[in-house]
Amino acid sequence: MQLLQADKSMAFGLIIIGDEILSGKRSDKHFPKVVELLNARGLQLSWAEYVGDDRARITDVLRRSIASDDIVFSCGGIGATPDDHTRQCAAAAFGVPLALHPEAKRLIEERIADVARAEGREPEYDTPDNMHRLKMGEFPQGCDIIPNPYNKIPGFRVVHGAGAHHFVPGFPVMAWPMIEWVLDTHYAHLFRQVPRAEKAVLVYGQPESRLTPMMEEIEAEFPLVKVFSLPTVADAGTRAHIELGVKGDPEQVDKAFGKLLEGLDGFGAEYVRQ
């Protein structure tokens, strides 16, 4: 098991691959789930990108993300049908050939045997169908596998520099436990390493333009804090308001939040603490 060292610039990214997402045939469920899995471990998603089933575009996205040295999860396109391109694109982006991974071969053959015996017959590994299934174990040369508890057909992981890319299927029932396994196996040393805090208020009757100079002053004074502003428009049951807050280093958050409240009081603003 290879552990990556923590670094202030280290970030988690997410790539979601598939025409069905971009066409609206299916709704993406990976983004909120990955955010949830990371947040539960004191980690944070820094970026996400969607890309269709186009080899050139997928390869370009992977090359850019590889250059970032981030920790990246890629969901979708690792099967062996004509619209699955992720394995080939990953190999091209890393500049290595595809090769049948011996452990992936063993696991896929286990799956073939499980299915055959469940149907009351002996497995035949050399049929055209089963030989084609082995293509799902052709990964970029030198990678590690990611176990799949749902049907044993693995994903794969490539470590590069300070970062790593992790490739899992598009099916949530497979992808999510595989991502959890990756986090708990390879990145437990990063969990809750950076303490974070967040405090906010709902502000009524104030335009963002009036609040912006105060927000900029707070960020300048407290470099370990980010100020956020989330407006909500009025509707039948809600007054127009702005969720205004600070997040980041706990000690600086306390001080920055105090300054934020002082500024709001100076405006005579109406606000409610969250």
Q: Are residues 219 and 112 in the same domain?
A: no
23-69: per-residue pLDDT in tens?
A: 999 999 999 999 999 999 999 999 999 999 999 999 999 999 999 98
Q: What is the pTM of this model?
A: 0.85
pLDDT on residue 4: 42
Question: Residue 225 maps to which CATH number?
Answer: 3.30.70.600
For residue 93, the enclosing domain spans 12-190
With cut-offs at 50, 70 and 90, classify the pLDDT of residue 9: low
Statement to judge: residues 213 and 185 lie in one domain: no
Strands 45-51 and 71-75: unpaired
* Last residue within a domain, chosen from 190, 219, 243: 190
Residue pair 200/53 in contact by the 8 Å Cβ criterion: no
Neighbours of 142 (CB within 10 A): 12
Whether 5 is covered by a domain: the verdict is: no
User: Which residue, 190, 205, 240, sits at the end of a domain?
Assistant: 190
CATH number of the domain residue 82 falls in: 3.40.980.10
CB 184 within 8 A of CB 166: no
**Which H helix or E strand runs over 129?**
helix 128-133
- The amino acid present at 99, given as its one-letter code, is A
* One domain, residues 185 and 213: no
Does residue 224 share a domain with residue 173? Answer: no
Q: Which of 162, 190, 218 is the last residue of a domain?
A: 190
Are 69 and 37 found together in one domain?
Answer: yes
In this structure, the answer to whether residues 114 and 221 fall within a common structural domain is: no
**CB of 105 within 8 A of CB of 136?**
no
Residues 126 and 247 both lie in one domain = no
Q: Are residues 184 and 204 in the same domain?
A: no
Pair 137, 238 in one domain: no
Q: Phi and psi (nearest 5°) for 249?
A: -60, 125
Give yes or no: residues 73 and 107 share one domain. Answer: yes
Residue 2 pLDDT level (bands cut at 50, 70, 90):
very low
Same domain, 260 and 133: no
Give pLDDT tens digits for 206-224: 999 999 999 999 999 999 9
Residues 181, 93 share a domain: yes
Q: Total domain count for the chain?
A: 2
- Helix 55-67 crosses helix 86-94 at what angle (to 10 degrees)? 50
Which residues contact residue 213 at a Cβ distance below 8 angstroms, ignoring those fewer than 6 apart?
Answer: none
Domain membership flag for residue 3: no
Is 80 exceeded by the pLDDT of residue 130?
A: yes
